[in-house]
Amino acid sequence: MHQTILVIDDDVELCRLLEQCLGGEGYEVTCMYSGKNVTQQLQNHQTDLIILDVMLPEEDGFSVLRRIRAFSGVPVLMLSAKSEEMNKVLGLRTGADDYITKPFGFSELIARVENLLRRCSASRQSESMLLDYGVLRIDREKCIVTVNNMPVQLTSKEYKLLCFLAENPQKVFTKKQIYSNVWGDEFMYDDNTIMALIRRLRKKVELQPDHPCLIQTVWGIGYRFNNEVKAID
């Protein structure tokens, strides 16, 4: 799927040029000529990056950016004819990720767009490798598990079970579903094997193994992971 860029600028000719330039690089481009409906646009359509002009009709780009940042962390490249340092500082402090002043070269713009998208992608990938629930932290890149900041040694099956449950917080899984995902076998499973693995895992990650809070039993159905446990001293 192509990455999508939203351009918000009241200069129709510039929008047309940006659409051609960025479209030629393989991006899907949507243009808006004010920030009036930006909230609905972002909620209803995938947007990987925003190019936002400071000088807009009715509402300036800084105000639009504040509304965006109230609910979205999408990367924003601010665009303005103003080159004063304070405008750049205000844009960055408001939540912009980068700032470029008019007139600019399209090669520089594309380089900045590529850099922002690359940084954002790396950040999302890093975040996706880390499961942090306060009391329990799983670094899937390094295969490290800590409870209350203390490292915990798990077997491969214990680690796989913990990751499977923690990746789906509050979702209830039957023993058969657990067996299928941890052992990779859909048809053969043994209740005692699963219960023994759950018991061993609880001893290692629960603050009080006899009163489990992280890996909860849902009687008559199976188990679920509770992601609302708070760390204790």
| pLDDT tens figures, 157-175 | 899 899 999 988 899 999 9
Does pLDDT of 122 surpass 90?
A: no
Handedness of CA 180, 182, 185, 191 (dihedral sign): negative
Boundary residue ending a domain (106, 128, 150): 128
Looking at the structure, do residues 92 and 10 belong to the same domain, yes or no? yes
Looking at the structure, do residues 198 and 159 belong to the same domain, yes or no? yes
Query: Do the beta carbons of residue 148 and residue 207 sit within 8 Å?
Result: yes
Boundary residue ending a domain (81, 105, 128): 128
CA of 175: how far to CAs of 171, 180, 182, 185, 191, in Å? 13, 9, 10, 12, 7
Work out the mean pLDDT of the chain and round it to a whole number: 86
Looking at the structure, do residues 19 and 51 belong to the same domain, yes or no? yes
| pLDDT tens figures, 200-223 | 999 999 988 778 889 999 998 999
**Predicted structure pTM score:** 0.56
Q: Domain containing 156 — which CATH number?
A: 1.10.10.10
Instruction: Please work out, in degrees rounded to the nearest 5, the angle formed at the alpha carbon of residue 79 by the alpha carbons of 26 and 45.
Output: 50
d(CA 4, CA 93): 25
pLDDT band, very low/low/confident/very high, at 233 (cuts 50, 70, 90):
very low
Mean pLDDT (whole number) for 73-88: 81
Mean pLDDT (whole number) for 74-85: 82
Q: Quick one: pLDDT at residue 149? A: 85
Q: How much of the chain exceeds pLDDT 90, in percent?
A: 43
